[in-house]
Structure 1
Amino acid sequence: MADFSGPIASTFGGIDLTSWQGIGRLALGATILYLIRLCFVAVYNLYFHPLRHIPGPPLWIALGGLRSIYKMRGILEFKYVEFHEKYGEVVRVNADEVAFIRPEAWKDIYGHGHAEFPKHFPGLKLDTKKIVFSSSKDHFRYRRAMLPAFSDKALRLQEPLIRVYIDLLIKRLREMSELGKPINMVRWYNFTTFDLIADLAYGTPLQGLAEGKSNAWLDNIGNIIKLLPIMAFASVFPMVGTALQFLAGPQIRNAEKKHYSFASQMTMDRIYNKKQPDRGDFMDFMLRSRGQDHEMKDDELASNADLIMLAGSETTATLLSGVTYWLLKTPHALKKATEEVRATFKSDDEITFDDTRAKLTYMMACLQEALRIFPPLPLGMLRIVPDGPPVQIAGVTIPPKTQVSVPQLAAFHSERNYHRPTEFIPERWLPESTLDPKSPFFNDRRDIHKPFSVGRRDCIGQNLAMHEMRSILAKVLWNFDLKLDESSNNWHNQKILALWVKPPLQVHIKQRAT
């Protein structure tokens, strides 16, 4: 067999590339070339890039990938808070990404009146049958089919179904209160919202409240959340990301497949189960699109029912956990909200969607403040500026193909937008604070507060979510006296892996004296 090592060696100045010395020199040369390229990219990003006029952290701008490392560690959104504090309302947080915390950026990025900015999900494999990932054409069709499920008419039909689970939560909390031990409220809120949404989406509760234990759905979602930072890292460093996914173990790697199989089967059971016609749930309304231009096919119904499950349960439970914690950390607010609920209703049977919305002004201010200080989706929802001429976003010229967002945690925690932003102060949302120039909160920029987003892709289920949160919180406050356990004193110090990574929220609950 011919020996090719000689010619190869002569080509590289007599170095035998098949020897360890040759391999080492080749690796060194490749490393040097990589570092030279890295330097050229860094210089370009800092001094010649079209976004060079926007301030930001130099190291993050020069070197791509730092964003993903901090995301994987669960502290990216907190870095954004720091950056906006240091560099201002418009910050270049990466070579081709700009974050805004000015109120007008919501309309300019996500609102109507201009060409839609495409969504951007780095590192994620997208199911385009889900409304949040769909094309503009499919999004319009999906939204038209799904909106009737969240209309005022639908909410009135759904209220008796929802009350079943809220009342069951209160029953289980009464039973738990008799044990004399602190209760993990995150767990019970999760059981409630997942059972509730599963019944509305599939006609099948998950029995979390009934059995007081987790289920395959909750376990799979937990595994998927663990994979999210690895996926983000893999988008920048594919080889390392693949290795991390392998090390994560088959249970986590296969979570997404298992989850979709489970969700799809539940959807098919609901669609073709003739025992529950016209019950007024989500699927009932969405199935009415059959035979029309905006009809949703079986696989599209499965994907979107799955999305509704996560978006309509995890986020609601997160907010309920957050408002409970912050009320318990703020005694005057807890006292005022509890007194308002108990003075308004003679029994918890009187607590309805309409009455909680119309009569509980202070409790609603507590929920608004919780949505600000502990937003269930604390991220910036990335969009890409479309091809074409530069656009104006919040008064700043931004070139095409730039990633842009309003990072909610940074926007809601900025002193530029709120007075004393790191404190839980429901009073900032009361009418007197918005109308009285002498109020310390009069100049708060409340129009930055868009926890459900804005525009054609805002949260389709926000009215239902608010009804749930008002009713559940009102019933808990009406029935129980609450006290935070010392083990949860710093519960708000959490990581963010797309969603908050919530530890147990241990609360002592006692049935109210009658």
Structure 2
Amino acid sequence: MADFSGPIARTLGEINLTSWQGIGRLALGFTVLFFIRLCGVAVYNLYFHPLRHIPGPPLWIALNGLRSIYKMRGILEFKYIEFHEKYGEVVRVNADEVAFIRPEAWKDIYGHGHAEFPKHFPGLKLDTKKIVFSGSKDHFRYRRAMLPAFSDKALRLQEPLIRVYIDLLIKRLREKSELDEPVNMVRWYNFTTFDLIADLAYGTPLQGLAQGKSNAWLDNIANIIKLLPIMAFGSVFPLGGTAMQFLAGPQIRNAEKKHYTFASKMTMDRIYNKKQPDRGDFMDFMMRSRGQEHEMKDDELASNADLIMLAGSETTATLLSGVTYWLLKTPHALKKATEEVRATFKSDDEITFDDTRAKLTYMMACLQEALRIFPPLPLGMLRIVPEGPPVQIAGVTIPGKTQVSVPQLAAFHSERNYYRPSEFHPERWLAEATTDPKSPFFNDRREIHKPFSVGRRDCIGQNLAMHEMRSILAKVLWNFDLKLDESSKNWHHQKILALWVKPPLQVHIKQRAN
């Protein structure tokens, strides 16, 4: 076998680690080896990798770290839109990752009928007691214990609890309307949904609506969101990520620990508070699994109540903010939705879960369009194809160990799926758009629209979310005339750090004339 040590030794010379010159030569050697390896990996990824037949941005495919850099900057999902526009419906966005915006990919990746594709969360420390991170066996058990809390029957029982906070929101907005100054609707929607879910999960509100100010829960979540770019960086460069976490300061580094301690205390207070038996909230339903095969232990209740708090409040407040903004940017849609609500109900006391679902066709179309143009979870939920023979996803052969997803923002904003996708058109969701070939929206591929995902791991709280959004939006439109403040005219230009980084949504609100 040939000996290459001679040429390398002659190039570097004799290395003396006690001198700066020797250290420099050693560093040069490591740098040369690093770049040789980097070039070798890039050549393999581009020309010999099993995914080489799938088009995508060459530089991203060659150098894996680029994805995380754009994720840190909060613009990754917008790059995916560009890539799908340029390369098509199936794009290799990384050396080992493929993104799909074809409707059939939902079933092939997330649906039933095949072995479950494991979830993939690069850079995150996973609490496997949370249903979204749990393995298949625990996931089935958790879902069985939690589903009864989100049934139509359960939500009807919970409606009086929920209405308390929706009515309090309207009361606070009436007070704000008298001050003749714009109102930050993001803030008030957040107060409402967090108070509401806290009561359903823990039996106590967070007093956001009552006091009109933030609280420990919201502050901790804000700190955790600040950590998300660091986590993204750390998933590719572990040493760099650790250094950045250290530099971020103890307040941010300890945010997750403080948050979990706070959430656990609230759970234990709810479980062992004898003053609140059988109140029909989430915890009550989940605790009914005690003594059964699918029972949830105290720490599992704490983890999943914490998850419900974030997933059931932040995302709902995001969608309400989004639909409010897009309605105010689209005057004809605002006028039509408002007229529909006010013509349907003589007073806002008549606005109920069942009636908003059955009677407000156009307002529901507005919510559907908001879920499309401003999805609360705009990401692609990564799955990994199991080891073994290649599988077919949306008609494309994909080998094992490949990361796959349907990136929601890219799928919902593609001209391949929707007519004028960057514009707010509730009409695309009306029945006539699906039956009239003359409608400009007739050929929209609505089956790509799965904002709550599909399959065995779809969003367990989607029923509650839709009830909340319909009721809150209907009450706001029934009670107030709204106008967008000039400072928020480009509100939708936001970054995405797992969640939308929402600036204030300043709205002028005026009580409707009788």
TM-score by length of 2: 0.98
Q: Does the Cα contact within 8 Å between 2:12 and 2:29 map onto a contact in 1?
A: no
* 8 Å contact from structure 1 (residues 452, 458) kept in 2: yes
Alpha-carbon contact 1:377-1:408 (below 8 Å) kept? yes
Partner of 2:40: 40
TM-superposed CA distance for 1:18, in Å, is 1.6
Q: Is the 8 A contact 1:145 1:295 kept in 2?
A: yes
Deviation, structure 1 residue 246: 1.2
Seen in structure 2, the aligned counterparts of structure 1 residues 108 and 4 have a Cα distance that, compared at 3 Å, is: closer
Change (3 A) 1:92 1:4: closer
Aligned partners of 1:183 and 1:506 also within 8 Å? yes
Answering whether residue 427 of structure 2 is matched by residue 427 of structure 1, we say yes
**How far does residue 17 in structure 1 lie from its aligned partner after superposition?**
1.8
Given that 1:223 and 1:255 are in contact with CA atoms closer than 8 Å, whether structure 2 keeps it comes out as yes
Q: How far has the Cα of 1:240 moved from its partner? A: 1.1
Is 1:442–2:442 an aligned residue pair? yes
CA distance change for structure 1 residues 426 and 8 in 2, over 3 Å: closer, same or farther? Answer: closer
Cα distance in 2 for partners of 1:466, 1:253 equals 34
Give the 3 Å change call, closer, same or farther, for CA 117–2 of structure 1 in structure 2.
closer
User: How far apart are residue 14 of structure 1 and its match?
Assistant: 3.2
The alpha-carbon deviation at position 11 of structure 1 amounts to: 13
Contact 2:193 2:314 in 1 (8 A): yes
Distance 2:477 2:266 in 1: 34
Question: Which residue of the partner structure matches residue 157 of structure 2?
Answer: 157
**1:10: Cα distance to partner?**
12
SS of equivalent to 2:140: helix
Q: Deviations over 1:239-275 (max 9, x none)?
A: 1111111121111100000000000000000000010
User: Could you list the per-position Cα deviations for residues 14-61 of structure 1 after superposition, in whole angstroms to 9, with x for gaps in the alignment?
Assistant: 332221111111101100100000000000000000000000000000
- Cα distance change on mapping 1:6 and 1:92 into 2, 3 Å: closer
Q: Which whole-Å deviations, capped at 9, do the CAs of 1:376-426 have from their partners, x for residues lacking one? A: 000000000001100000000000000000000000000000000000000
| Contact 2:15–2:26 (8 Å) recurs in 1 | no
Distance 1:338 1:447 in 2: 28
Q: 1:268 to 1:4 in 2, by over 3 A?
A: farther
Contact 2:105–2:394 (Cα < 8 Å) also in 1: yes
* Helix, strand or coil at the partner of 1:280: coil
The verdict on how the C-alpha distance between 1:9 and 1:86 changes in structure 2, with shifts beyond 3 A counting, is closer
- Residues 131 and 304 in structure 2, CA contact (< 8 A), matched pair in contact too: yes
1:5 to partner: Cα distance = 20
Q: Distance in 2 between matches of 1:259 and 1:483?
A: 36
**2: CA distance, partners of 1:201 / 1:69:** 37
SS at match of 1:51: coil
Contact kept? 1:5, 1:18, Cα under 8 Å? no
User: Which of 243-252 and 463-472 deviates more?
Assistant: 243-252
Q: Secondary structure at 1:133's aligned position in 2?
A: coil
Measured after TM superposition, the shift of residue 12 of structure 1 is: 7.2
Structure 1 residues 12 and 103, CA, compared in 2 at 3 Å: closer, same or farther? closer
Contact 1:8 1:16 survives alignment (8 Å)? no
* Aligned counterparts of 2:327 and 2:65: Cα–Cα separation in 1: 38
Query: How much has 1:8 moved relative to structure 2?
Result: 16
SS of the residue aligned with 2:397?
A: strand
Percent identity between matched residues is 93
Secondary structure of 2:318's aligned partner: helix
Q: Give the TM-score normalised by the residue count of structure 1.
A: 0.98
- How big is the shift at 1:7? 20
* Residues 9, 16 of structure 1: 8 Å contact kept: no
Cα 1:367–1:29, aligned 2, differ >3 Å: closer, same or farther?
A: same
Q: State the 1:4 CA deviation.
A: 25
CA distance in 2, matches of 1:109, 1:2: 48
* Contact 2:390–2:398 (8 Å) recurs in 1: yes
1: CA distance, partners of 2:248 / 2:467:
38
Distance 1:322 1:480 in 2: 17
Q: Give CA-to-partner distance per residue, 1:349-373, whole Å, 9 cap, x none.
A: 0000000000000000000000000
Note closer, same or farther for the CA distance 1:190–1:12 as it changes in structure 2 (3 Å cut).
Answer: same
Cα distance in 2 between the residues matched to 1:396 and 1:8: 45
Following superposition, the deviation at residue 124 of structure 1 comes to 0.1
Secondary structure, counterpart of 1:132 in structure 2: coil
Q: 2:91–2:98: 8 Å Cα contact kept in structure 1?
A: yes
Q: Secondary structure at the match of 2:93?
A: strand
Unaligned runs of at least 5 residues, structure 1: none
User: Which is worse superposed, 228-237 or 491-500?
Assistant: 228-237
| Whole-angstrom distance in 1 between the partners of 2:10 and 2:81 | 57
Once the two structures are TM-superposed, the CA of residue 288 in structure 1 deviates from its matched residue by 0.3
| TM superposition outliers: structure 1 runs of 4+ over 6 Å | 1-12
Please say if residues 56 and 93 of structure 2, whose CA atoms lie closer than 8 Å, have aligned partners that are also in contact. Answer: yes
Query: Could you tell me whether the CA contact under 8 Å between 1:97 and 1:404 is conserved in 2?
Result: yes
C-alpha separation in 2, matches of 1:66 and 1:280: 48
Tell me what 1:178 maps to.
Answer: 178
1:313 deviates by 0.0
Could you tell me whether the CA contact under 8 Å between 1:315 and 1:376 is conserved in 2? yes
Question: Shift of the alpha carbon at 1:507?
Answer: 0.2
What displacement does 1:64 show? 0.9
> Residues 312-370 of structure 1, C-alpha deviation per residue, up to 9 Å, x if partnerless?
00000000000000000000000000000000000000000000000000000000000
* SS of equivalent to 1:369: helix
Aligned residue in 2 for 1:490: 490
SS in 1 for 2:132: helix
Q: Paired residue for 2:2?
A: 2
Contact 1:412 1:449 in 2 (8 A): yes
Please state whether the residue corresponding to 1:201 is helix, strand or coil: helix
Paired residue secondary structure (1:415): coil
SS in 2 for 1:510: strand
Equivalent in the alignment of 1:390: 390
Deviation, structure 1 residue 2: 35
The answer to whether the 8 A contact 1:169-1:209 is kept is: yes
Q: Is the 8 A contact 1:141 1:295 kept in 2?
A: yes
Find the aligned partners of 1:140 and 1:446 in 2 and give their Cα distance: 29
Q: What is the alpha-carbon distance in structure 1 between the residues aligned to residue 27 and residue 8 of structure 2?
A: 16
Instruction: Tell me how far apart the structure 2 counterparts of residues 152 and 194 of structure 1 sit (CA, whole Å).
Output: 21
Summarize deviations over 1:256-312 as a string: whole Å, max 9, x none. 000000000000000000101111000000000000000000000000000000000
Moved more, 245-254 or 281-290: 245-254
When residues 8 and 407 of structure 1 are mapped into structure 2, their CA distance, relative to the original with a 3 A threshold, is closer
Q: Hey, what's the Cα distance between the residues in 2 that align with 1:5 and 1:77?
A: 47
Q: Offset at 1:479? A: 0.1
CA distance in 1 between partners of 2:228 and 2:236 (Å): 13
2:361 maps to 1:361: yes
Distance in 2, Cα, partners of 1:278 & 1:209: 25
- Report the alpha carbon displacement of residue 3 of structure 1 after superposing the two structures with TM: 29
The 8 Å contact of residues 488 and 505 in structure 1, kept in 2 or not, is answered as: yes
2: CA distance, partners of 1:438 / 1:12: 74
CA 1:9–1:402 in structure 2 vs 1: closer, same or farther (change >3 Å)? closer
Q: Are 2:377 and 2:451, in contact at CA under 8 Å, matched by a contact in 1?
A: yes
Shift of 1:229: 1.4
Q: RMSD in angstroms over aligned alpha carbons? A: 3.3
Q: How far apart are 1:9 and its partner, in Å?
A: 11
TM-aligned CA distance change 1:26 to 1:154, over 3 Å? same
How far has the Cα of 1:438 moved from its partner? 0.8
Q: 1:4 to 1:275 in 2, by over 3 A?
A: farther
